[in-house]
Amino acid sequence: MRCLTTPPQLEGGKMKVVITVPEMGESVSEATVARLMVESGAKVSADDELLELETDKANQVLYASASGIVHLDVALDDTVTAEQVIGYIESDEKAAKKEKEKAPTRRGKEEFVKDLAAKEEKPAPKVEKAKPKKESERRETRQEMSKIRKIIAHRLVEVQANTAMLTTFNEVDMTAVMGIRAKYRDKFVKDHGVRLGFMSFFVKACVSALEAFPGLNSYIDGDDIVERHYFDVGIAVGTERGLIVPVVRDCDKLNFAKIEGAITDFAQRGRSGGLSVDELKGGGFTITNGGVYGSLLSTPILNPPQSGILGMHKIEKRPVVIDDQIVIRPMMYLALSYDHRIVDGQTAVSFLVHMKECLEDPSRLLLHI
Active site residue 344: yes
Beta bridge partners of 245: none
| Active-site residue, from 115, 340, 354, 361 | 340
Whether the ω angle into residue 300 lies within 30 degrees of 0, i.e. cis, is no
Q: Distances in Å between the alpha carbon of 290 and those of 37, 144, 147, 265? A: 38, 27, 24, 19
| Active-site residue, from 324, 344, 354, 361 | 344
Question: What phi and psi, each to the nearest 5 degrees, are found at residue 310?
Answer: -105, 130
Is the backbone of residue 181 left (phi > 0), alpha (psi -120 to 50) or beta? alpha
Give the separation between CA 321 and CA 331, rounded to whole angstroms.
Answer: 12
* DSSP three-state, residue 145: coil
Encode burial over 298-325: b for 16+ CB neighbours within 10 A, e otherwise: bebbbbbbbbbbbbbbbbeeeeeeeeee
Active site residue 313: no
- Count of CA atoms in the C-beta half-sphere (13 A) of 284: 23
Hey, CA dihedral for 257, 261, 267, 268, is it positive or negative?
A: positive
Tell me the catalytic residues: 340, 344
